[in-house]
Amino acid sequence: MKCTLCPVNCGADRDKAAGRCGVKGLTVAKYYLHPYEEPPISHKNGSGTIFFGGCNLRCVFCQNFSVSRAERGNPITPRELCDIFRRLEDMGADNINLVTPDHVSGYIAEALSIYKPQIPVVYNSSGYCLVSALREIDPFIDVYLPDLKFRSPALSMRYTGREDYFDIAAEAISFMAKKPMKLSEDGKLLSGLLVRHLVMPMCVFDSIAVLDALKEILPKDVPLSLMRQYTPMGYLADFPELNRKITAREYRRVLDHALMLGFADLYTQEKTSVGTEFIPDWD
């Protein structure tokens, strides 16, 4: 059957060959307790993070390059994914964190229909997904964690090959914002939306445009995470402007704009969050 799950709409027969997302079926590269997500996500014991192989967006600077390009990852069935959910629960995970799920959301929904964990399920997305696909998995999802990456079609075209990124992601995030916000008494996000934005080198003006757009899209109570962890990764020979970390001044300008817009529930990162030591070890 031709795959039309995501906005790429490449029509690959995923039983036989991979599409743009790079995987035929469902693959998992790693799962573990992640201590470095935002406090309402990592909470006390860590977020039960599952990295799926492949990705439909394929950013040239991907911080998990070998996983998103499907160089790593073992094929698994939805039932085996349920076993991973159970193992992470047994390890004390504060939630199940589905990283890059958009191109495999059908398989994940099948797993969640077999076994729904007792802890919140987090959909950790690039935002490049169709609302029709989100509707299918939404009954099983408690928390949405999208990263709104670009506002400019020229920039998203340059770094992902997808000119329609913002329009698609804005529609997806508007859908995600309907999830009711609920925090536990000790600050764990039980339900709702937390939006991320990764500040990139030479992209301050686009970051400011992203924040302006989010101000329009989001309800007041949605938290925003401004990430400064960008580390040069991937094949950047054709993108020399990306071959450095962001400066303190770049991050400060974006942060000041978020404060000026009145984002009250704001997560920021220290300069020490930058570096390959924060990239998971793909053992």
- Give the footprint of ligand SF4 on this chain (CB under 6 A): 3-6, 8-10, 12, 14, 19-21, 56, 103
The nearer residue to ligand SF4, 6 or 218, going by C-beta atoms, is 6
Cβ of residue 7: shortest distance to ligand SF4, in angstroms?
7
The nearer residue to ligand SF4, 172 or 254, going by C-beta atoms, is 172
Cβ of residue 24: shortest distance to ligand SF4, in angstroms?
9
User: What six digits make up the tokens of 28?
Assistant: 């998992």
- Classify 276 in phi/psi space as left (phi over 0), alpha (psi -120 to 50) or beta: alpha
Separation in Å, CA 113 to CA 81, 98, 163, 186, 194: 11, 15, 34, 29, 24
- Classify 111 in phi/psi space as left (phi over 0), alpha (psi -120 to 50) or beta: alpha
The nearer residue to ligand SF4, 17 or 237, going by C-beta atoms, is 17
Distance between CA 240 and CA 185 in Å, rounded? 46
Cβ of residue 142: shortest distance to ligand SF4, in angstroms?
23
The nearer residue to ligand SF4, 21 or 121, going by C-beta atoms, is 21
Cβ of residue 18: shortest distance to ligand SF4, in angstroms?
7
Question: Are the C-beta atoms of residues 121 and 96 closer than 8 Å to each other?
Answer: yes
Report the 10 Å Cβ neighbour count for 104.
Answer: 27
Cβ of residue 107: shortest distance to ligand SF4, in angstroms?
11
Which single residue brings its beta carbon nearest to ligand SF4? 19
Residue 110: what are its φ and ψ, rounded to 5°? -60, -45
The nearer residue to ligand SF4, 65 or 230, going by C-beta atoms, is 65
